[in-house]
Amino acid sequence: MYTVNTASEIAERIYEFWIRAPQVARNARAGQFLILRIDEQGERIPLTISAVNGDAVRVVFMAVGKTTQHLATLKAGDALADVVGPLGKPSEIENFGTACVVGGGAGIACLPIIARELKEAGNHVIGIIGARNAGLLILEDEMREICDELFITTDDGSKGFHGYAADVLKRELDHRTIDRVWIIGPAIMMKVTSAATVPYGVKTFVSLNPIMVDGTGMCGSCRVTVGGETKFACVDGPEFDAHQVDFVELMQRQRIYTDQEKAAVERFAEHTCRCGEGGHHHG
C-alpha cells in the first residue's frame, strides 16, 4: 500500500504529492525517478523524485494527460497501486566548485534534491528558475534556502528577470567560472538553455524524464540519440550530456503520441462528468 500523505495544487495545474514509499525513500538519489500506477488498470507514469523526507518521497507533476489529470484528483489518505523506484542512474555529483541548476516550469521540481546533494558535496550552488509567469513559479522558497544564490526569470516579466533562464545563465557565465550545469524543463527550453553553455565549454546535463513510458528499457519509446548513439532515457539516463543530445529528434518524438493523448483526455473528461466526480464546476 502506497499512501498519499499530502496532495496540493501549488500552481495552476501543478500538483505536489508526498507519497509514503519507504523502499524508494531509503535509496533515492538526486536525478532518479519513480514510476507509479494509480490502480491496476492504470498507465505507468514516470515522475522525478523531487525530495525525500523520512519514508516519504515528493513528486511534482503537471496535470496535462489523462493519467496526470486522474492523479490530480487524489487526496491525502488515498492509496496508489504501485510505486516503483528509485529508477535511472543518479546525477554525477562531486565537488566541482561552482554548480548551477536551471529549471523551467514543472521541471523546477527536479532541482531541490540535486541542489541539496551538490551543496552537501561542497559546491557553491547557483539556482535559476524560470516560468511563463509568476503564477507558475514553484518551490521558490525551498530553492532559495538550498542555493547560495537564486535567480528568477519570467517570460512576461511579472517577477524577477524579464526573459529566459538562458539569458541569466549567459550573463552569469560571462562574469564567473561555472564548473557544471544541470538544466531541466520542456525540451525546447533545455535545447536553448544548453546551447548557452557551449561557447564556455561547460559540461552540462539535461534530464530526459518526460519521454518515458515503461521505465525499464523494454518499450523503446524513450529512445534518444546521444552523441550519435541510441540510448534509452530510462536505463541509460535520465541525465545525459546536453551537448550530445539530438533535441530535434527528441521534440519530433514527443509529438508522436499527441493525438492518442488528446483522445484519452477527452474520454477521461466525459467519464468524470458522467460519474459526477469532475465536471465543469471543478475545473
Annotated binding site for [2Fe-2S] cluster: 219, 222, 234
Give the three-state DSSP class for 105: helix
192 grid coordinates: 536553448
Query: Sign of torsion, CA 229 111 32 69?
Result: negative
DSSP-derived letter for residue 245 is B
Contact (CB, 8 A) for 21 and 55: yes
Quick one: which of 74, 68, 66 has its CA closest to 269? 66
User: At residue 116, what are phi and psi to the nearest 5 degrees?
Assistant: -65, -45
| H or E element at residue 112 | helix 111-120
Annotated binding-site residue numbers:
219, 222, 234
- Which residues on neighbouring strands pair with residue 130, listed in sequence order? 104, 153
Burial (CB < 10 A; 0-12, 13-18, 19+), residue 47, is: buried
Residue 37 CB neighbour total at 10 angstroms: 18
Per the omega criterion (within 30 degrees of 0), is the bond before 86 cis?
A: yes
Quick one: which of 204, 168, 206, 172 has its CA closest to 186? 206
80 grid coordinates: 496508489
